[in-house]
Amino acid sequence: MYELIQAGPRSYYIDCPVKMGLYRTDKGVYLIDSGGDKSTGSKVRKILDQQGWTLLAILNTHAHADHIGGNRYLQSQTGCKIFASGPEAAITRHTLLGPTSLYGGCPPADLRHKFMLAQPSDVLPLAEHPDFPRELTVLPLPGHSPDMVGFRTPDDVVYLADCVSSAVTLEKYGVCFLYDAAAYLETLDTVEAMEARLFVPAHAEAVTDIRDLVRRNRDKVWEIARCLTDLCTEPASFETLLQSVFRRYGLTMNFEQYALVGSTVRSYLAWLRNLGWLEPEFADDRLLWRRV
């Protein structure tokens, strides 16, 4: 765990629950994401010190807590810069926006722990600042989050962040978090057409061919879409649909799962409404969803 793996002449990744990338230059290294908390940041710093590398900057793919949680520690210890894009930068600066958007209101204390609420950090605009490494190609990968990105290095390693989940994860959890299903499917199409020396997803094994994993993730999206549509044969409220999804996929309800899966189900419902598969219906002061 937390083993440094070389992926190309100048590219590496840290093999851990949320894989982090590293790109080495003559002046130092760029870290792609920082893990979940101070403890992860400390492990990263130990690896850097062992290699004698200077941390120049952290490049955040998106603002979920398990990807930005080590930012503040590493920045305070090394003085490194942090880069993030668009809405992801706003959430990285103001991290309470993360659980707020998931919950749909002021989040209770149950959603304010380190797995949901990272410490805020100072960030600079991705690719626009003169200190951003121009040799790296920024890859837009929206869908899992509003403005998620990945990176391609000059030695042809592609870091994919959370745009694909492993087959094990898909089987175990069933409903993986999504912000925008339509954008996610477009991202999968883009990734499926890519070629690279190595693909490094954050939550799956590094592979030379990403196409099979893309297909598995795409199939899961359409499976959930059909499941929700079938559940709406008779008008159903969000809470009824959420309960059915939890039972269908063998999930256990708690505040975290209510927020994560609930937000994802709402995103699916919005997408299916836009596709014309579902229609909203207001009855007895309730919002109900029904199949078209």
Number of domains in the chain: 2
For the stretch 108-152, pLDDT in tens is 999 999 999 999 999 999 988 999 999 999 999 999 999 999 999
In a domain, residue 251? The reply is yes
Q: In what order do the strands lie in the sheet with 137-140?
A: 137-140, 149-152, 157-165, 198-203
CATH of the domain at 237: 1.10.10
Reading the block at residue 263, the tokens are 């937000």
Write down which residue in 108, 135, 162 finishes a domain.
135
CA distance 99 to 117: 7
**Residues of the chain above pLDDT 90, percent:** 99
- The C-alpha atoms of residue 16 and residue 250 are separated, in whole angstroms, by 26
The verdict on 3 and 119 lying in the same domain is yes
pLDDT at 10: 98
Among the listed residues 176, 185, 210, the one whose alpha carbon sits nearest the alpha carbon of residue 274: 185
On the question of pLDDT at 76 being above 90, the answer is: yes
Tens of pLDDT, residue by residue over 18-68, are: 999 999 999 999 999 999 999 999 999 999 999 999 999 999 999 999 999
Residues 117 and 246 grouped into a single domain: no
User: Bridge partners of 32?
Assistant: 21, 59
| Distance (Å, whole) CA 242 – CA 245 | 5
Among 119, 135, 151, the domain-final residue is 135
- Final residue in a domain of this structure, among 106, 135, 164: 135
- List own/partner pairs for 97-106 with CB under 8 A and 24 or more apart: 98/63, 98/64, 98/65, 99/259, 101/263, 102/259, 102/260, 102/262, 102/263, 103/259, 104/263
Structural domain range at position 103: 1-135
